[in-house]
Chain A
Amino acid sequence: MVKWTDEERKVINNIFSNLDYDDIGPKALRRCLVVYPWTQRHFSSFGDLSSPAAIMKNAKVAAHGVKVLHGLDRALKNMDNIKATYTELSILHSEKLHVDPDNFRVLADCLTITIAAKMGDSFTAATQAIFQKFLCVVVSALGRQYH
């Protein structure tokens, strides 16, 4: 079981309570699709992804970005059992969506960078360490049911 200090819980809850999901979700997913274009393979039904400009304008990408970001809420509410919390989602991503779990890591990196851009100076090294620890645990939980 992952251990969280009071400070870590505080920092993570702070970041999420000040988060504009409708802004950050789309930004993070768009960044992922632009920087790691092979991730587009899962979104062939989303319409035009042919250029960074098209990706930025794409409404389905934006909507999906919000959905994915809200997916982190369950980890937030169950920090002491993130592993079990994501069992169902892990099976979904493995058996139905067939997403390479390395994609979770790259999306997590893009989210980190999006949040860093928003928080500026207040995204200190200590904050980054805590945020990345949180995402790392979620990424690991999401990859757990792959066989």
Chain B
Amino acid sequence: MSLSDKDKTAVKALWGKISKSADVVGAEALGRMLVVYPQTKTYFAHWPDMSPGSEPVKAHGKKVMGGLTLAVSKIDDLKAGLLELSEQHAFTLRVDPANFKILSHCILVELATIFPKEFTPEAHLSYDKFFTAVALALAERYR
């Protein structure tokens, strides 16, 4: 299920649009995740406020989108491009990789609400594959 040229083109094309609202998309997607999958809150117990729209959620959403923008730019070699982030997630953050799928789903839902016309089934397919590939690259250094 590796990314075809068609997938890469589709991802980059829509990302151009997404990046204009990146902060909002990131914050909203993260907010969704914390509400819809409350077990993910275990990673953020050190935040004073975990509610959607709060400052820590907004700041962290921005950070996550920054990571995804990096991934888009390294789409031809995600393993190498995300090596450092993989090490961070593996050794410092120690996030269970099962959660990557959960956050991916929340980002897809957010994309559907903000870009109902552009987020066609084909765009959805390419993004689902892209996020799966990113998750795999992020999990690279885990064991």
Contacts and interface: CB of A to CB of B under 8 A. Distances in A.
Interface of A: 30-31, 34-35, 52, 55-56, 109, 112-114, 116-121, 123, 125-126, 128-129, 132
Contacts of A119: 113
B36 A132 contact: yes
User: B interface, how many residues as a size bin?
Assistant: 20 to 34
Given A116-B112, A117-B112, A129 B121 contact: no
Nearest to B105: A109
B56 interface: no
Interface in B66-109: 105, 108-109
Contact of B36 (A56, A121, A128): A128
Nearest to A123: B113
A117 B115 CA distance: 7
Given A113-B109, A128-B109, A120 B124 contact: no
Contacts of A30: 121
Given A119-B113, A125-B36, A126-B35, A34 B121 contact: yes
Nearest to A34: B121
A118 B35 contact: no
Sorted from nearest, which 3 A-B pairs have the closest CB atoms? A125-B35, A34-B121, A117-B116
A125 B113 contact: no
A128 B128 contact: no
Contacts of A132: 36
A122 B43 CA distance: 27
Contact of A35 (B28, B52, B110, B125): B125
A95 B35 CA distance: 37
A113 B112 contact: yes
A141 to B, nearest CB: 20
A62 to B, nearest CB: 14
